[in-house]
């Protein structure tokens, strides 16, 4: 059976998307650790220092205004929730992406379920608090979901040689 150039492109896209998801998971882990060790007041001071120059140029800068507003709303419980969320999400993402990259068949359904749950949550958030960034993230996750399902089906197809699963 010959592999079409479209299939090769989707295979490469799947690989690159997994790498990006894995890197995102690592960044989430770093962000979660930072939120555990940095206080809300330290975050507010850092945001004020970073936005000071921008406000000098444009006192109505949208991004700087939003950063200052959101940093001002931080408290210990919100910061701890954010740390917990990022750490759990990052660990799950890194473990599942790593397993899929190592061609572990058991990881595909877990990654698919994980993506379905987050696409569902992100869709709810889009209805409640629409942002272009969240829309793009959701579309990216839907695309990765499609690629993961496609790859899983290919791995399960008869005649496909795959590495044996290691015993737990």
Statement to judge: residues 93 and 132 lie in one domain: no
What's the pLDDT at 85?
A: 86
- Alpha carbons 117 and 110: distance in angstroms, whole number: 11
- Looking at residue 156, its pLDDT comes to 86
Q: Is residue 18 domain-shared with residue 51, that is, in the same domain?
A: yes
3-state secondary structure of 113: helix
107 plus 66 within the same structural domain: no
How many structural domains comprise the chain?
2
The answer to whether the beta carbons of residues 126 and 133 sit under 8 Å apart is no
Q: CA gyration radius for the chain?
A: 20
- Residue 35, Cβ density class (10 Å: 0-12 exposed, 13-18 middle, ≥19 buried): buried
Q: Domain containing 91: what range?
A: 11-102
Q: Of 151, 150, 158, 124, which is closest to residue 138 (Cα–Cα)?
A: 124
Together in a domain, 110 and 97: no
Residue 166 lies in a domain: no
Q: Which residues of 118-130 are buried (b: 16+ CB within 10 A; e: fewer)?
A: bbeebeeeeeeee
* Same-domain check for residues 81 and 31: yes
Kindly state whether residues 75 and 112 are assigned to the same domain.
no
Phi, psi of 105 (to 5 degrees): -60, -35
**Is residue 78 included in any domain, yes or no?**
yes
84 and 120 assigned to the same domain: no
Among the listed residues 9, 11, 16, 12, the one whose alpha carbon sits nearest the alpha carbon of residue 97: 16
Q: pLDDT tens string for the chain (168 positions)?
A: 455 677 788 889 999 999 999 999 999 999 999 999 999 999 999 999 999 999 999 999 999 999 999 899 888 988 998 899 899 989 999 999 999 999 899 999 999 999 999 899 989 989 998 888 889 989 988 999 999 999 999 888 876 554 444 444
Q: Are residues 93 and 120 in the same domain?
A: no
């Amino acid at each position: 059976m010959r592999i079409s150039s479209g299939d090769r492109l989707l295979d490469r896209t799947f690989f690159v998307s997994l790498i990006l998801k894995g890197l995102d998971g690592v960044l989430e882990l770093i962000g979660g650790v930072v939120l555990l060790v940095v206080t809300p007041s330290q975050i507010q001071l850092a945001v004020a220092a970073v936005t000071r120059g921008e406000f000098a140029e444009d006192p109505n800068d949208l991004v700087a205004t939003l950063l200052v507003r959101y940093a001002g709303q931080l408290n210990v419980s919100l910061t701890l929730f954010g740390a917990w969320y990022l750490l759990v999400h990052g660990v799950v993402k890194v473990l599942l992406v790593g397993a899929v990259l190592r061609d572990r068949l058991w990881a595909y359904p877990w990654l698919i379920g994980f993506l379905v749950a987050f696409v569902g949550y992100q869709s709810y958030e889009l209805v409640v608090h629409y942002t272009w960034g969240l829309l793009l993230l959701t579309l990216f996750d839907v695309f990765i979901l499609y690629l993961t399902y496609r790859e899983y089906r290919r791995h399960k197809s008869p005649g496909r040689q795959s590495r044996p699963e290691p015993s737990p």
